[in-house]
Structure 1
Amino acid sequence: MTSSGVKHKHVRFASMEDQEEDTLFDKKTDAGLELRSALKATERTATPGGPDRVKVVGGRSGEGSFGRWVLTLSLCGSFLGLGMSISVLGPTFKDLAENVNKDISNISYIFVGRSAGYIGGSLVGGVLFDRMSPHLLLGFSMLLTSLGMYAIPFCRQAAVLTAFMSSIGMTMGVLDTGGNVLILNTWGEHSGPHMQALHFSYAAGAFASPIIAKMLFGHHGNSTHSVHPNTSHSSSTFTVTESMWAYVVISSFVFLFSLFFFVLHSRSTSPLDKPRTSPGRPLVARHHVALVALLFLFFFAYVGAEVAYGSFIFTFATDYAGMSQAEAAGLNSAFWGVFAAARGLAIFFAACLRPGALILLCLVGSTVSSLLLCLFSSQNVSLWVCTSLYGASMATTFPSGISWLEQYTTVTAHTAAVFVVGAALGEMVLPAIVGFLLGKFPHQPLLMYLSLITATFTSILFPVMYKLASAPGSQGSKRADADDGDGEYRQALLYSGGDEEEELN
């Protein structure tokens, strides 16, 4: 019996050795099927240096799915107000200078003040986003933005105006950082079209603000109205330029959407509002720091050129091209209108084109259009056509850049804060330089030179980033692994297989 038992035991292990490959294959296949169904329901996103977050990315019936759409619409409304708040500075820049008795070359530092606040707000938002309710954080940031926007028309001191611009920049930086991360946390892998919709809303607001400032309120030129209607016109000493009422309208809109976020905070019961911890390690690319640093420079140049062009095309058109204020406001709106339309189309393009392809199209278009603007900026027809092409080419770069990096590494609140800081630095430095130089050299197309330089720089930088992301030894594309259906499952099976091997030993 004993020898028979031993023989049976040896036969058993021989059979396992003969069929080891098939058995492990069957186990991995069964485990793979279970993992596929589990991973379709949830997606784990890790925060470097902190606990992982589990996000629902598949469609879910009931309150959760409805809540995600309500939150997305609220974020789109907030970015609509953000776009209006940022771009209204361009068409009202001269009026702000008149309010504080300055010329445009001596007041361009308000861009520095706003962008400095934007940088601080981005950093604060990256820290606070993981430590408090995102709904409450965004609600307070929008409320403070609306109060600051309301106060700007009544500023009569340059220092006070700069202080308000800086405070508004800080609250807008919190909103920008929090909004981008909240979209990623809400929709996960499927955030591409929603990210484009978020930034389309920003562009739509940027398109609307010149219309509100100059076509709706500024059609009487530089005429003013007394703030105190009971006083006589001759004794009135406190007047507001008509275009300044655009700030009041925009602040009221931003205040309205701040209430939406307070309501969402009071009614938040969805698991999306509270991150849940999960074991695992963050999916971070090997060259994560280098990629984030290069994208920081990329956004510095891109956003700086975008804001500078949108802010000064009105001044350039009137002073250099000889357009009337109405025509210049129309050109300004054409830039932001095509910009917004291209971002609207990108919502659908993002479903069939990878972010890298969208970025390449944008870079080619911005380089060609900025070159033509340098050559033919004095001709009104060329200015209209090339400005529209430039706006369309700049449209999807920022959201596509975030989505592109998300393919290779984890984008967290801290990472998004770095991007927003880079964008804010570009918004601070480049428009300030252009504003100063336009006051000194009003008959030179300096704005067009800046557009060409930044377009060339970003066109060189993106292939470097792509080469670094796809270099041998790097992690590779997370999305590509998800698309072929084997990447994450294979990694999980390796851990499972290692446990089984230890049990056999």
Structure 2
Amino acid sequence: MNAALLLAVSMLGTAAGLYGIPWCKESLLLTVLMSVIGGSMGILDTGGNVMALNTWGSEAGPHMQALHFSFAAGAFLAPILATVDSGGSKSEELARAEKTNQSVLTPVPTASAASTTPAPRDHQDGNFLWSYIIIGTYILFISVFFFVLYSKTNSARDKSKASAQKGKRAKHHWPLIGLMFVFFLFYVGAEVTYGSYVYTYAVVFAEMTESEAAALNSVFWGAFAVCRGAAIFGAAFLAPVTMIIMSLVCSVASSSALAFFAHFRASLWAGTAVYGASMATIFPSGISWIEQYTVIEGKSASLFVVGAALGEMCIPVAVGYLQGRFHDIPVVMYTAFATSVMTVLLFPVMYKLANAPQDSDSEVVSESETRKALLSNSRLTEDEEDEEEVRAWNDADFEVIEMNDKLKNSLTDTSLRISGDSPAEASLQPHPDDILGDAPVVAGGSPGRQNGNVDWEK
């Protein structure tokens, strides 16, 4: 399907869901609209990555970083927009908006504070209604641009470009895709888990105040967004593999500090900032890196996004369940450390598979080269044989022509002598049959004249 049309339809579905959610009075309808938005965002994530790779190819590194920076910027700005529209206390509402998921340990920390200064229900609903309308209108406006882009695209040119890109394929294509699926599962799961539970960890384990916990959460996402913005320029002169290795090293170092030294405030703040920065560039750099070794189409990119979505869905749920059962163990920090170790172990395996020599391709190339060489030699041999055959036929033709000229001359002289001499002398002249041997050519109107002309032409 055309990428621009797919993105236009998905964003149109997202806008429709956002317009309908504030008016929902039934949980079933709300579930349907939320599912529509979730599916549309999944299509947007997949289609955006594929469209960037198809548009810029091997030079898609900075553009891929810019695409994922827009995700981080939107995640950072949307809660602020909702906070401004809510009309409540900015620090409390920002903490509530950024805290996207809560652990089962304690109730929402801001519930008691919010209950002391309740806002009028109609005023609060009206402000949140405007938040949905503003974001939905923005997305609808962008979907119109994608429809215009679809009307301007040349499908035949896109298909020919896509078919030209299908030739590059790694030897272990599907094992490489499968490992990248698992890699993104752990990476995105760790990112969402830490961003979701760091507020609760700061309040319960680090005994921070609500404002400090909200600031710690903002440090994580702020470092995440800033590092993705810086990666746009860094991708212009750094290879994707270099950016991945730097991110993985920083991820292991920071998660180790968080898992084993988080009881120190300085270690918690610094580790959170470095961990957020190290998680920023892995996803776009991973897609840019694997595109250098094998062709990435819609199926492959969708597998990456499915793996990321599974990690985003399953790992936070598992952490929340375990944290509810083991209250004294910082499961969040240990999960960050374990997922970082898994990604560090997976990447060398993927690198080895990606750089495996193309045995099958070399055999095909050598076979095709041998075949071409044999065909070229056979053509040369045939040409040489043709030249020798033509040369032999030319020599034979010249010999026949010379012999015919001699025969004609001899016959002409003989006929002249016969016509000019006496009958007695003519009887002494040799007969033309003796001159020509077995050739049945005779003077005058003898019966062998016609056959003689035929043999003469041959």
TM-score range normalised by the length of the shorter chain: 0.5 to 0.7
Residues 471-482 of structure 1 correspond to what in structure 2 (within 5 A)?
471-473=356-358
Listed one character per residue, the Cα deviations across residues 55-104 of structure 1 (whole Å, up to 9, x for unaligned) are xxxxxxxxxxxxxxxxxxxxxxxxxxxxxxxxxxxxxxxxxxxxxxxxxx
1:292 pairs with 177, 194, 197, which one? 177
1:331-370 residue pairs with structure 2 within 5 A?
331-370=216-255
Provide Cα deviations, 1:11-49, integer angstroms capped at 9, x if missing partner.
xxxxxxxxxxxxxxxxxxxxxxxxxxxxxxxxxxxxxxx
Counterpart residue identity of residue 243, structure 2: L
Distance 2:18 2:328 in 1: 32
Greater CA drift, 409-418 or 256-265: 256-265
CA distance in 2, matches of 1:322, 1:350: 39
Partner residue, 2:139: 254
Match of 1:266 in 2: 151
Q: Is 1:146 aligned with 2:146?
A: no
- After superposition, what is the alpha-carbon deviation per residue over 1:326-368, rounded to whole angstroms, capped at 9, x for unaligned? 4433332322221122122222222222211211111111111
Paired position in structure 2 for 1:425: 310
CA distance in 2, matches of 1:337, 1:498: 65
Query: Any conservation in 2 of the 1:224–1:242 contact (CA below 8 Å)?
Result: no
Unmatched runs of 5 consecutive residues or more in structure 1: 1-130, 230-238, 477-488
1:467 pairs with 2:337 = no
Partner of 1:184: 53
In structure 1, distance between residues paired with 2:16 and 2:205? 36
What residue identity is the alignment partner of 2:17? G
Could you tell me the percent identity over the aligned residues?
A: 48
Residue 448 of structure 2 corresponds to none
**Is it true that 1:407 corresponds to 2:276 in the alignment?**
no
Cα displacement string for residues 94-149 of structure 1 (whole angstroms, at most 9, x for unaligned residues) = xxxxxxxxxxxxxxxxxxxxxxxxxxxxxxxxxxxxx3x32221111112113323
Q: Equivalents in 1 of 2:247, 2:165: separation in Å?
A: 37
Residue 286 of structure 1 aligns to a residue whose secondary structure is coil
Name 2:420's counterpart in structure 1: none
Structure 1 letter corresponding to 2:317: A
Q: Mean Cα displacement is larger for which, 395-404 or 491-500?
A: 491-500
User: Contact 1:342–1:396 at 8 Å: present in 2 too?
Assistant: yes
User: Which of 190, 193, 213 is equivalent to 2:62?
Assistant: 193
Aligned-residue CA RMSD (Å): 3.4
Matched, 1:315 2:200: yes
Q: Residues 351 and 281 (structure 1 numbering): CA distance in 2 closer, same or farther, change over 3 Å?
A: closer
**Cα offsets for 1:167-211 (capped at 9, x unmatched):** 222111111111101111111121111111111211222222343
For 1:203-242, what per-residue CA distance to the aligned partner results, in whole angstroms no more than 9, with x for missing partners?
A: 2222223433457645264344434x6xxxxxxxxx6497
Contact 1:319–1:443 at 8 Å: present in 2 too? no
* Structure 2 unaligned regions, length at least 5: 93-113, 382-458
Question: How many Å apart are 1:448 and its aligned residue?
Answer: 1.2
1:215–1:326 Cα contact (<8 Å) kept = no
CA distance 1:171–1:255, shift in 2 (3 Å): same
- Letter in structure 2 aligned against 1:436: Y
Instruction: Give the TM-score, by structure 2 length.
Output: 0.67
Aligned to 1:108: none
The 10-residue stretch of structure 1 (304-313 or 154-163) with the greater mean CA deviation from structure 2: 154-163
Task: Report if the CA contact (8 A) 1:310-1:336 is conserved.
Answer: yes
The corresponding residue for 1:170 is 39
Equivalent residue, structure 1, for 2:380: 504
Bigger Rg over Cα: 2
Specify the SS of the correspondent of 1:193.
helix
Shift of residue 501, structure 1, vs aligned partner: 5.2
Matched-pair contact (CA < 8 Å) for 1:307–1:431:
yes
Q: What SS does structure 1 have at the residue aligned with 2:190?
A: helix
Looking at structure 1, the residues matched to 165 and 5 of structure 2 have their Cα atoms a distance apart, in angstroms, of 29
**How many residues are aligned here?**
352
How far 1:165 moved relative to its partner? 3.2
The answer to whether the 8 Å contact 2:247/2:279 transfers is yes
Pick the aligned partner of 1:447 from 332, 356, 359.
Answer: 332
Q: Verify the 8 A CA contact 1:306 1:394 in the aligned structure 2.
A: yes
Q: Any idea what SS the aligned residue of 2:169 has?
A: coil
Pick from 75, 81, 94: which aligns with 1:206? 75
In the TM superposition, residue 245 of structure 1 has moved relative to its aligned partner by 6.3
Matched residue of 1:373: which SS?
A: helix
Q: Which has the higher contact order (CA 8 A, sep 6+)?
A: 1
The whole-number CA distance in structure 2 between the counterparts of 1:343 and 1:497 is 52
Q: 1:429-477: CA deviations, max 9, x gaps? A: 112223334455565422111111100111111111112222345689x
Matched, 1:226 2:102: no
Which of 266, 270, 274 is the matching residue for 1:389? 274
In structure 1, distance between residues paired with 2:336 and 2:275? 9
> Relative to 1, partners in 2 of residues 1:225 and 1:261: Cα closer, same or farther, differing over 3 Å?
farther
- Give 2:62's aligned amino acid: P
- With over 3 angstroms needed to count, the CA separation of the structure-2 counterparts of 1:244 and 1:326, relative to structure 1, is farther
Tell me how far 1:492 sits from its aligned partner: 10
With 402-411 and 154-163 compared, the bigger mean Cα shift is at 154-163
**Aligned to 1:167, what secondary structure does the other structure show?**
helix
Residues 170 and 358 in structure 2, CA contact (< 8 A), matched pair in contact too: no
Q: Is the 8 A contact 1:152 1:161 kept in 2?
A: yes
Using the alignment, how far apart are the partners of 1:205 and 1:414 within structure 2? 26
Note if 1:435 corresponds to 2:320: yes
Query: What does 1:53-68 correspond to in 2, within 5 Å?
Result: none
1:176–1:420 Cα contact (<8 Å) kept: yes
Determine helix, strand or coil for the equivalent of 2:60: helix
Alpha-carbon deviation of 1:402? 1.1
TM-score under structure 1 normalisation?
0.61
SS at match of 2:192: helix
CA deviation after TM superposition for structure 1 residue 401, in Å: 0.9
Higher helix share: 2
Aligned counterpart for 1:305 among listed residues 190, 194, 197:
190
Cα pair 1:219 1:326 within 8 Å, conserved: no
